[in-house]
Amino acid sequence: MPYFDHAATTPLLPEARDAMAAQLSLTGNASALHAAGRRARRTVEEGRERLAAALGARPSEVVFTSGGTEADNLAVKGLYWARRAADPRRTRVLASPVEHHAVLDAVQWLAGHEGARVDWLPVDGHGRVHPDGLREALAAGPHGPDDVALVTVMWANNEIGTVMPVAELAAVAAGHGIPLHADAVQAVGQLPVDFAASGAAALTVSGHKIGGPYGIGALLLGRSWSPEPVLHGGGQEREVRSGTLDVPAIAGFSVAAELAVAHREEFAWRIGGLRDELVAAVRAAVPDAVLGGDPDPAGRLPANAQFAFPGCEGDSLLLLLDAQDIACSTGSACTAGVAQPSHVLLAAGADPELARGSLRFSLGHTTTKDEVAALAAAIGPAVARARAAGLS
């Protein structure tokens, strides 16, 4: 079955599966002091060290979470609460409007429940935030940069693949003593991700996007930042994320991260080549298809190809491909059963009607030339049928 939804989740790596399996038959809470607990703690700390080494962080900066969504919420809400507590003027949040909903909804929750003022950063037609736009937004508040609690801009967009200039944005924010959080869930394993070099205060990563297990992620958190906890309990993970640590998942996650980073260049070369073949095939089959995101391969994720198909509904097109055992995803979300255009595409200036006809093809470590060929053969007839259905 051709699978082009690796951005949603990608198959578990055999090495990660084996690392997990080695822990599943063992018993021990990593917070316990007896021998079984110490053994579990050793596995956790070895995993922490592996993850930190792979991502340019110190082990003490790795805070394990249940996944990317929790890490995003801890960064956005926790940093907001901590910064506001230190200075009540700090109620502004600067965020890109193309964020994943784990960030977008957390920001909007702060606005609705915690008195936050949200300023959406401008993006260009590729969905990219530029440093000048951040500088202008910082200066635009009633107190200038002094009322900003945090900035949050993703490393690479999950829908259209556009890569953000995170290091430049972080430098602008840091110049005013403001923390920048970046959701790097899609970037790890595809782009060079170095936490220390980025200058970000906090960075979100997730296991199941890189060949690790579901239900595990991490927030890389600079030692100078102490967000208020979202979860309270035993005080694990620097007392900002309580909860019993998932030892098998941490073992699998850390191995997957290590391998994803070690093989990143080969992955980008091989998968980027297949992505380019896919783009060429779709354009040949559907000449009026519109490629989203940065058309320059250097400015987008190597595994991403997002298209809008004029005259089509994305959901209908997805189901037509699914009927041929080809899996992909739409760029739209559904609210109360009514298809809505992607917020990412709208923020980047796309026409709403065109945005409704979008599909995302995301590749991964199991993608083959045969899968690309299968899509190339199927996409033209599927688009023709979707357009005919729309006219009937």
Which H, E and C letters describe 66-108, residue by residue?
CCHHHHHHHHHHHHHHHHHHHCCCCCEEEECCCCCHHHHHHHH
Helix (H, G, I), strand (E, B) or coil at 113: helix
Q: Quick check: 30 and 245 in contact, CB under 8 A?
A: yes
Residue 238, C-beta contacts closer than 8 angstroms, at least 6 positions apart = 60, 63, 221, 226
Our separate counts of H helices and E strands in the chain read 13, 13
Half-sphere exposure at residue 51, Cβ-oriented, CA atoms within 13 angstroms: 33
Options 26, 86, 139, 334, the catalytic residue? 334
Residue 128, C-beta contacts closer than 8 angstroms, at least 6 positions apart = 162, 163, 164, 165, 294, 299
328 given a catalytic annotation: no
**One-letter amino acid for residue 98 of the chain:** V
Residue 363: what are its φ and ψ, rounded to 5°? -100, 165
CA distances from 306 to 10, 300, 347 (A): 17, 11, 15
Question: Which of 207, 216, 97 lies closest to 162 in space, CA to CA?
Answer: 97
Q: Where are the beta strands (DSSP E) in 207-332?
A: 217-221, 290-291, 304-308, 329-330
Question: DSSP class of residue 50?
Answer: H
Residue 288, number of CB atoms within 10 A of its CB: 10
Helix (H, G, I), strand (E, B) or coil at 24: helix
Residue 283, number of CB atoms within 10 A of its CB: 14
Interatomic CA distance for residues 392 and 387, integer angstroms: 9
The H or E element containing residue 180 is strand 180-183
- Catalytic residue IDs: 334
